[in-house]
Amino acid sequence: MSLRGQKTKSDFLEWDKMKTLVLKLERDGDFKFSLLISCGCYLGLRISDLLQLKWSDLLSNEFCEVIEKKTKKHRKITINPELKEIIKRIYDEVDTDVEQFIFVNRFGKKPISVQHVNSKLKDIFNHYNINGQYSSHFMRKSLGRQVWTKNNYSEQSLILLSQLFNHSSIQTTKIYLGIRDEEISNLYLSV
């Protein structure tokens, strides 16, 4: 884990692998992390904002509205139909109050901590033999890579992702998603 303010390097997870992991976690009864990873990858929120979500923010809604903790900006995010199905399935399994935080700690009152999330993600990736360096950032990065890939690696998708992630430039988004490293590596291979 990193110190506050320290730059970290987290890999992204290919979309199909993410969906498989989510299903495996659900199958194995780890509903909290199945839903955390799903929400993180489909909504693209920072972990600090994900942990503040309540069931009422997502259940039966077309949109998720949040005030970002880091930027204080209001975001209205369309909830993907696949994510809606996952939310409904898991809510039916856990049967809890809709006004409850989704990702509660073991005492059932407050959200789990970011440190707990990162520690648990490390355990999950080890358990399911997924190699790489993963922290809670992998979810946003996975969304970004999926959007970029689905849009044929277009500059337009990078512009939109830059806005979605509140980055100051497309270059920042490329670095964040690891695209710049790939471009430089490909440059060496092209010689």
pLDDT of residue 108: 84
Q: What six digits make up the tokens of 72?
A: 């204080």
CA distances in angstroms from 164 to 32, 39, 71, 95, 180, listed in the order given: 25, 15, 12, 32, 19
pLDDT of residue 65: 95
pLDDT of residue 1: 41
pLDDT of residue 8: 57
pLDDT of residue 44: 96
Q: Which residues pair with 93 in a beta bridge?
A: none
pLDDT of residue 191: 77
3-state helix, strand, coil in the chain (%, to 5): 55, 5, 40
pLDDT of residue 2: 46
Per-residue pLDDT of the chain (191 residues; tens, 9 = 90+): 444 555 557 999 999 999 999 999 999 999 999 999 999 999 999 999 999 999 999 998 999 999 999 999 999 999 999 999 999 999 999 989 999 999 999 888 899 999 999 999 999 999 999 999 999 999 999 999 999 999 999 999 999 999 999 899 999 999 999 888 887 788 788 77
